[in-house]
Structure 1
Amino acid sequence: MSLDSYKTIDEPTKETLFKDRNSKFFGFAFPVKSEDDVKICLEEVRKIHYAARHFCYAYQIGVEDIKYRANDDGEPNNSAGMPIYGQIQSFVVTNILIVVVRYFGGTKLGVGGLINAYKTSAQITLEASNIVEKTIDVFFQLNFEYDMMNKVMRILKEKNINLESQKMELACEYVISIRKKEVKTVFEIFDNLYKVSIKKLEA
């Protein structure tokens, strides 16, 4: 994996099940980009498993500026959330939430048993996930007159640059995304182009 790419999932993973001494551990993985996304996904899981007592989870958000959280949800300290987060790190994925729902089976597993069960459940869930690699992209706005459109479009095609959106009014306004490692080269091409202005958009 290169420095300007990362791994994540594009869609929620189907529920997985791990059993240990009659305790059941249901695993879920969701693609998330904000803490609001995390709350919505947790609510979904709570609706599905309304009778369960423990909804332990870990998430990681961000590509260069990483935010993460691990939650034991009533299980002994660091016996659930961190083992789940350990698997997120092990699979090197981001923008992901993993929730493990536990139903107690009548036999206590002990802290070591819980750590192993939550870790295994998260691992099974990640193995069942469709992990994809994405590039880190930087967004720019281009402004130019209509007579420059063919020239701009030719550069976009030659350099394989994504056109995210376009506005055509008195003049043209394009929003483009450039792979991080190609930013300098592409920026210079447009910056040196007569009658075309380029500016970076904040993420």
Structure 2
Amino acid sequence: MKAIIQRVLSASVTVDNQIVSSIGKGILVFAAVAPDDTPKDVELLANKILKLKVWDSPSDGGRWKMSAMDMDYQVLLVSQFTLLAKTKKGSKPDFHGACPPALAADIYTSLLDKTRALYAGEKGLAQEDAMTRVQDGVFGAMMQVALVNDGPVTFELSTPEKSETVTSNKGGKKEKSEGEGKGDTGGNVISNSD
């Protein structure tokens, strides 16, 4: 899975001239499903969405200490298969890296359900309250997404951690995790696959 997470003051989704969801302070998540995504990817991304520290602490001003869930803020989850487009060749995006729509809908729904369940479980909320805290767009629809980015603060996340092949000094190859040797990524994977 690949996601773009933006800290927002507000965000909304409109379909056919009707606002279908809107949030105040929180995070807007654009998520794309790859063909090889598994339930483990869903769980990893749901946890990251809710626990990524993108706000300063209101008590001591400490930087990057609070998550959307810590702050009791909302999440707006929007499906966006175009995040998996390949653009290296030519000027037309190639979407073969995205999951077929029927399977992607099931996996996206699992991500939405898992994110709501985790929020409800961590905060002791009823399911209907979790649905208010974690909202979504309309899978597969043409959507207009409005947002006021706060900062701006934007992160790109990918699961699972992709491997890249690195050639050693002796011409041999080894597999290397993306974050290896590049400093602390804080568990966030910045995808270099495009």
Tell me if TM exceeds 0.5.
Answer: no
Query: Under a length normalisation based on structure 1, what TM-score does the superposition of the two structures give?
Result: 0.27
Which has a greater percent of helix? 1
Looking at both structures, which has the greater relative contact order when contacts are Cα pairs under 8 Å and sequence separation is at least 6? 2
Which has a greater percent of strand? 1
- Larger Cα-atom Rg: 1
Query: Under a length normalisation based on structure 2, what TM-score does the superposition of the two structures give?
Result: 0.28
